[in-house]
């Protein structure tokens, strides 16, 4: 049906209970009257007044490439900014652990979106940046407790201190993540099709962001300490 009017290899995705979105990598060269052509083709198949074409949007290759570039730069600059801040606020090993954790979260969310064939839009980029902020905040809470415990007892090795610190902040981490997941899940279920993908990205990101704060960031710091011990240990 759509092939007859020049729309080839189209992807049809559900958008709400009674709406669909038709996407294609190719478009007719005559953009004027495209809505009318789509309407005529649907009329011939489903009959008049059985549907409604709400809008027709065209994103050229130049615009699409520009949006992709800006989205990637936004995520990378957020990583660089947090790396510099954590390195200044704590130490480089903590900065590396935190960044590895948020990179893990971004990759997981993008992988799940790819598995479910969900469109990657600028709204999802905003969700990724929100996830990065949430995850790094959760990680910094753990690292701050690590620093406090190191100052209290400098004789303890980092592994013991890290384990104690994670256990001390675990209840706070679980309760905070649970409340956030609860709100995001409600948005995902009742928020409608407009924010459905955004809420889904946050739901996945918060769950794996909590996981990475405990099981990714902290082990990376311990691995860094193993291969590049602090100056105090080197003197010993």
pLDDT at 59: 61
Instruction: Name residues of the chain where pLDDT drops below 50.
Output: 28-29, 234-236
Do residue 178 and residue 201 come from a single domain? yes
Do residue 101 and residue 20 come from a single domain? no
Any domain includes 191: yes
User: Which CATH number belongs to the domain containing residue 152 in this structure?
Assistant: 1.20.1640.10
pLDDT at 46: 73
Do residue 89 and residue 17 come from a single domain? no
Do residue 67 and residue 32 come from a single domain? no
Residues 6+ apart with CB under 8 A from 5: 28, 34, 37, 38, 40, 41
Matching residue, tokens 């005529």? 40
Do residue 207 and residue 106 come from a single domain? yes
Any domain includes 54: no
Do residue 131 and residue 173 come from a single domain? yes
> Cβ distance 213 to 142 under 8 Å?
yes
Do residue 15 and residue 96 come from a single domain? no
pLDDT digits (tens, 9 = 90+) for 98-140: 999 999 999 999 999 999 888 788 888 889 999 999 999 999 9
The long-range contacts involving 2-5, CB below 8 angstroms and separated by at least 24 positions, are 2/38, 2/41, 4/41, 5/34, 5/37, 5/38, 5/40, 5/41
Do residue 37 and residue 70 come from a single domain? no
Residues 6+ apart with CB under 8 A from 198: 123, 124, 126, 127
Do residue 42 and residue 66 come from a single domain? no
pLDDT at 66: 77
- Pick from 102, 111, 161: which is nearest to 136 by CA? 102
Q: Which domain holds residue 100?
A: 61-235
Any domain includes 161: yes
Do residue 42 and residue 77 come from a single domain? no
Q: How many domains does the chain have?
A: 2
Any domain includes 55: no
């Amino acid at each position: 049906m759509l092939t007859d009017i020049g729309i080839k290899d189209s992807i049809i995705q559900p958008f709400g209970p009674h709406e669909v979105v038709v996407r294609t990598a190719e478009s007719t060269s005559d953009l004027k009257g495209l809505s009318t052509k789509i309407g005529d083709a649907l009329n011939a198949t489903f009959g008049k007044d059985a549907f409604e074409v709400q809008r027709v949007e065209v994103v050229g290759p130049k615009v699409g490439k520009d949006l992709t570039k800006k989205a990637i730069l936004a995520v990378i600059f957020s990583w660089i900014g947090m790396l510099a801040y954590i390195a200044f606020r704590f130490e480089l090993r903590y900065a590396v652990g935190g960044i590895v954790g948020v990179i893990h979260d971004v990759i997981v969310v993008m992988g799940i979106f790819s598995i479910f064939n969900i469109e990657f839009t600028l709204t999802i980029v905003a969700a990724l940046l929100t996830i990065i902020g949430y995850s790094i905040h959760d990680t910094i809470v753990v690292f701050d407790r690590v620093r406090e415990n190191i100052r209290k007892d400098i004789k303890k090795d980092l592994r013991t201190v890290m384990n104690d610190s994670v256990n001390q902040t675990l209840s706070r981490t679980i309760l905070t993540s649970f409340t956030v997941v609860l709100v995001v899940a409600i948005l995902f279920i009742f928020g409608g099709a407009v924010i459905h993908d955004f809420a889904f990205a946050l739901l996945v990101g918060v769950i794996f962001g909590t996981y990475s704060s405990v099981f990714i960031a902290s082990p990376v710091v311990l691995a860094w300490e193993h291969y590049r011990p602090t100056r105090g240990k080197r003197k010993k």
